[in-house]
A and B are shown apart, each in its own frame.
Chain A
């Protein structure tokens, strides 16, 4: 079972990298927020895999729970910020998106 859990953890890590590509290269800022949200969900699962591998699930499940809560709060805060943004801040989503807005 340990080697199965190790394989699962490696699979989750390999799934994080394409999401990281979308987070870095995504054309608009919302792609980046969604990429961050997906990486957070995968990190929540990865922490449980690490807990089983270290045979200490009762400690890692608390960290995982806190990570899930913080991921949700962070995504909501980013969405709220871009909806009511101060006018001096740099534009979201590139130049053509700003033209479509005005």
Chain B
């Protein structure tokens, strides 16, 4: 039962990460690529990490529960830190005057 739940969570996370990779390859300019990278990275990573937390905590021994708690801490940290890093890069790009892509321009 827990193995099935783990597999579902990990496959969903890898699918979300694959969507992010397609977005970072296909979208036309820097800001839209940031839109793909920032969201999918946090959601996909948190899904996969929750799957791992379930998988390693299923024996309910103390050491395994501690490992599970550490994995959940990584998930919480990525959930906070990845949007912060995306915001910092976006702010730097705006401060340097990078222009957003508009419909009239040629796709680079």
Q: Which residues of A contact B (CB under 8 A)?
A: 1, 4, 8, 11-12, 15, 18-19, 21-22, 27-28, 30-31, 33-35, 37-38, 41-42, 44-45, 48, 52, 57-58, 61-62, 64-65, 68-69, 72, 75-76, 78-80, 82-83, 92-93, 97, 100-101
Q: Is the interface of B mostly helix, strand, loop or mixed?
A: helix
Since A8-B10, A28-B30, A72-B81 are in contact, a sample of 14 more A-B pairs with Cβ atoms closer than 8 Å, ordered by chain A residue number, is A18-B25, A30-B89, A31-B33, A34-B33, A34-B89, A37-B89, A41-B78, A41-B82, A44-B78, A58-B63, A64-B74, A72-B85, A76-B85, A97-B98
Please measure, in the bound complex, the distance between the C-alpha atom of A58 and the C-alpha atom of B73, giving whole angstroms.
Answer: 14
- B52: nearest chain-A partner, CB-CB: A48
Q: Which residues of B contact A (CB under 8 A)?
A: 3, 7, 10, 13-14, 17-18, 20-21, 24-25, 30, 33-34, 37, 41, 45, 48-49, 52, 55-56, 63, 66-67, 70-71, 73-74, 77-78, 81-82, 84-86, 88-89, 91-93, 95-99, 108
CB distance B70 to A62 under 8 Å?
A: yes
Please measure, in the bound complex, the distance between the C-alpha atom of A64 and the C-alpha atom of B52, giving whole angstroms.
Answer: 12
Please measure, in the bound complex, the distance between the C-alpha atom of A82 and the C-alpha atom of B98, giving whole angstroms.
Answer: 13
Chain B residues in 8 Å Cβ range of A72: 77, 81-82, 84-85
CB distance A79 to B37 under 8 Å?
A: no
Count of A-B contacts judged by CB separation below 8 Å: 130
Please measure, in the bound complex, the distance between the C-alpha atom of A97 and the C-alpha atom of B97, giving whole angstroms.
Answer: 8
16 A-B pairs within 8 Å (CB atoms) are namely A4-B7, A15-B14, A21-B25, A22-B33, A27-B108, A31-B33, A33-B89, A34-B30, A34-B33, A34-B86, A38-B24, A41-B78, A52-B55, A68-B81, A82-B96, A93-B98
- B31: nearest chain-A partner, CB-CB: A30
